[in-house]
């Protein structure tokens, strides 16, 4: 299950369509889950426990750590996890930091 502020749940096809529009996709599963179940193409893995710190990093540090440009507070971002619980928490974290 995937979530975005305007659309609480997205289907896989909706995510594929959004990714064509340069939406940043952050997978908040743990690294062992990525190793076991696979990486979602073109997503970056930031485990939920690291997300608050990551979203407050210096942009240069973020790029070095995650090999991706740090999102601005107005950039479209989609969070995903295994069942939807952590992605909803991630959305709450991002919104509490001023992401729209």
Give catalytic residues, as residue numbers.
81
Listed residue (55, 86, 61) closest to 73, CA to CA: 55
Joined tokens for residue 23:
């939406």
Return d(Cα 65, Cα 94) in angstroms, integer.
Answer: 18
Coil/strand/helix, residue 18: helix
Contacts 24+ apart (CB under 8 A), 33-39: 33/82, 37/82
């Amino acid at each position: 299950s995937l979530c975005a502020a305007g659309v609480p749940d997205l289907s896989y096809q909706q995510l594929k369509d959004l990714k064509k529009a340069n939406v940043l996709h952050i997978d908040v599963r743990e690294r062992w889950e990525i190793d076991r179940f696979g990486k979602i193409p073109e997503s970056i893995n930031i485990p939920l426990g690291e997300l608050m710190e990551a979203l407050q990093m210096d942009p240069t540090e973020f790029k070095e750590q995650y090999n991706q440009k740090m999102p601005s507070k107005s950039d479209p971002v989609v969070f995903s996890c295994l069942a939807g619980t952590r992605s909803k928490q991630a959305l709450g974290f991002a919104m509490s930091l001023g992401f729209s």
